[in-house]
Each structure stands twice: as structure tokens, then as C-alpha cells.
A = this chain, B = another copy of it.
Amino acid sequence: MLAISQRGLAMPASPIRKLVPFAEAAKKRGTKVYHLNIGQPDIETPKAILDAVRHSEFKVLEYSHSAGNESYRQKLVQYYHSVGIEVTSQQIIVTTGGSEAIQFGFMACLDAGDEVIIPEPFYANYNGFAIAAGVKVVPVTSKIENGFALPPISDFEAKITPKTKAIVICNPNNPTGYLYSKEEMHQLKALIIKHNLYLFSDEAYREFCYGGEQVSAMHLKDAEQHVIMMDTISKRYSACGGRIGALVTKNQAVLDAVMKFAQARLSPPSFAQIAGEAAIDLPADYFDTTKAEYLLRRDVLVKRLNAMEGVFCPNPGGAFYAIAQLPIDDADKFCQWLLEDFSYQGETVMLAPATGFYGTAGLGKKEVRLAYVLNLHDINKAMDCLAAAIKVYPGRASV
């Protein structure tokens, strides 16, 4: 018998995608499914950036530079300047989605057996990338009661061992929608400097903040050598399929090491780099419009959720996710039941059980993540389904 590797066995199946077969079965039965389970926005990709690809003229679809086209990196320098991040094109390595930026950062900075501390609930794929790299994820729990604010620094310090090499944050946060305050970012800064740790900062949702400005990890003075930012065009321009991201840092040794991993895989995708480059020239009001749309959706979603008996949903400050606590026994069972056994006026809703976002077993069993990536009409319809479902769910339980 040929064996699968230990890491292959340990890799988690996607908690977001594992319910897909049940959703497909529901659709086959004729049930309409509202997808609030995945961060695939319905917002149209700006036509200008798709047209840049459509109108591109070249004869050979060549490899780009392993760090990405210089012309694109120059444009990114402009973009980062516009959000208060001063970097050179040499401090940007274009990656295949934000995913590859995370992988490169982990591979270049962490060895098998090293530990990274991540506030939970966290983006589930951090765990996958950690397993691929042989790295142990050590969770520090953030709580729904205070809207998933940064856990007390003493909680982080209690988890630090000689093997701890980094803290990972996502800001604004997926899956909680929490936007870290300036004070919290400075607490993190003091922590990484005191304990000589890297800070991996995933800033995929930078533009989507409602009621406060994002403080980038790249804004933290005197922490430049510690900070490695992971970025992507996927959410910013509703361009998830492009698979273009970036790793950005001022740490030259990290850049040098990451570059070797980048060379091994040759180059990031060429077509979507054209789109990414064109995106920097979008009109200044592009994000205003998009953000206003997400804000409307958030307000409706959160209001509808909190109007349901036994439901609590803190108001997220950014990104396009919310986590709600429901009066249910088990979120995994509930989300499957929504697809398998429930419908309301021929419709149902697909949610992500929050259990998949916690590193600590047993947490999140009453919580679900909702991505407000559908239009208002559909969000309201989805909330109608959820409200009806909670009333009749056989596993209803007090919170």
C-alpha cells in the first residue's frame, strides 16, 4: 500500500467547501440556495480592469519576472503610497493570490516545529498552510461578547514558548469582521518587539472599513523588520479568480528568501497582472461606491440577525463577514440541516459553521459565519429563511 504523507492526512478539508455536496443536492431538488458561506462577492469586477486584459496585445504569453512585472510593482508602489504605506518596488513580491503570499511567508520564516500564535476564530486556510509547512498554530481566543476584539496581550504572552516565531493577524478580520484599533495595533507592536517575533498581517480587506480607518501593520514605526504584509486583489476589486496577491515587507533577508521560493515556481499569472495594474488607475470613487454597498448590506444583515430571538451578532467594523451566535446545538449539524432538510418558500441559505475557524476543539459550536456578498434583496430573502429555520430546527437550544 502506497502511503499518503502525514501532512497530507493532517490537512483539513475546507470547512467552507465541505458542505458543497449538500448544497448541490438541494439545488437538484429545486431548492434555491443563498450562498452566504463563501467570500465570493457578487459585486461586478470593474469593467476597466477586465477590458485591460481583453484589449491586451502581445504575441507570446511569457513568464513574467518571478517577483511580478516591474510595471505592476511600480503601480503598486503608488497604490500603497495612497494608503500611507511607503515601499519600493523591490519590497513587493507579486504572488499567486494572497494564498501564496501566506505560504511564502511561512516557508521563508518558519521551520517544522515552529509555532505561530493566531487569534481565533481565524481564516481556516492559515491552518492548512501551517500544516503544509510543518508549523503548529497556537490559538488565542477572541470572544463574541466583545465583538472579537484583540484578546488581552497577557493571553498571547501565556502562549509564547521558545518555538514561537510569529503572530498572524487578519485586519479587518475574516471571519469576524473585526477592525483592530490603533491601540490594539500598538499593543501588538510592543509584543512583537519585546519577544522578537514576526507579525504576519493579512490585509486583504483594507478598503472595507465602516466607521474607522484601518491601521496597517506597515504603519507601525520601528517594527519594519518584523512586519510581513500579505495582500491580494481578490476582494478589493472583486477579482478572486485572477489569483494575484503580494507579499510586502521591508525586511531584506525575508525578501531574499521569499524570492527563492518565487523563482522555484517561476512567475505569478500574467493575465491577471494586467488586470491588477489597470486597477490602480480606477477612479478614486471606486471604493466609496463598493464600500457604501457593503455597508448597507452589513447594516441589514446585522439588524435582521439581532431581531431573531436568541440570536446575537456583534456589529463588524470591516471586511464583509459577520459571526452570529444562534440558539442551536451544533453549527455543523445546523448548516447541513439547512441544506438537507429545510426550505422556506422553496429556498434556503448556506452558512459556514464557525467551528472550522477555531483552532481550539469545541469552540464555535453555536456560531456561524455569514459573508454579506449578495445584494440586499437576496440578503433579506436569506434572512427570511434563517429566521424561519431557527424556529423549527429540531436541535434548537438556548444560547
The docked-state distance in angstroms from the alpha carbon of A114 to that of B107 is 18
The docked-state distance in angstroms from the alpha carbon of A257 to that of B131 is 13
If over half of A's interface residues share one DSSP class (helix, strand or loop), that class is named, otherwise mixed; here it is loop
Contact B2–A196 (Cβ < 8 Å): yes
Contact A132–B107 (Cβ < 8 Å): yes
**Size category, A interface:** 35 or more
Q: Is A134 an interface residue (CB 8 A)?
A: yes
Whether A5 touches B257, Cβ cut-off 8 Å, given contacts A61-B238, A61-B239, A62-B241, is yes
Q: How close is A374's CB to chain B, nearest CB, in angstroms?
A: 12
Contact A4–B225 (Cβ < 8 Å): no
The docked-state distance in angstroms from the alpha carbon of A97 to that of B269 is 9
Choose one: B3, B239, B260; the contact of A8 (CB below 8 Å). B260
Residues of B within 8 A of A6 (CB): 111
Contact A272–B275 (Cβ < 8 Å): no
Contact A257–B54 (Cβ < 8 Å): no
Q: Is A72 an interface residue (CB 8 A)?
A: no
Residues of B within 8 A of A53 (CB): 53-54, 271
Contact A59–B45 (Cβ < 8 Å): yes
Residues of B within 8 A of A11 (CB): 257, 260-261, 264
Q: Is A222 an interface residue (CB 8 A)?
A: no
Q: How close is A25's CB to chain B, nearest CB, in angstroms?
A: 17
Within 8 A of B (CB), among A92-106: 96-97, 99-100, 103
Contact B268–A63 (Cβ < 8 Å): no
Return the chain B residue nearest A241 by Cβ.
B270
Most chain B beta carbons < 10 A, residue from A54, A108, A132, A261: A132
Q: What are 30 inter-chain pairs, A to B, with CB distance below 8 A?
A: A2-B109, A2-B251, A3-B109, A3-B165, A4-B253, A6-B111, A8-B108, A13-B263, A14-B66, A42-B60, A45-B60, A50-B58, A53-B54, A54-B56, A61-B238, A61-B239, A61-B272, A96-B96, A96-B265, A97-B265, A99-B264, A99-B265, A112-B134, A125-B265, A128-B260, A128-B263, A132-B264, A243-B267, A243-B269, A269-B269
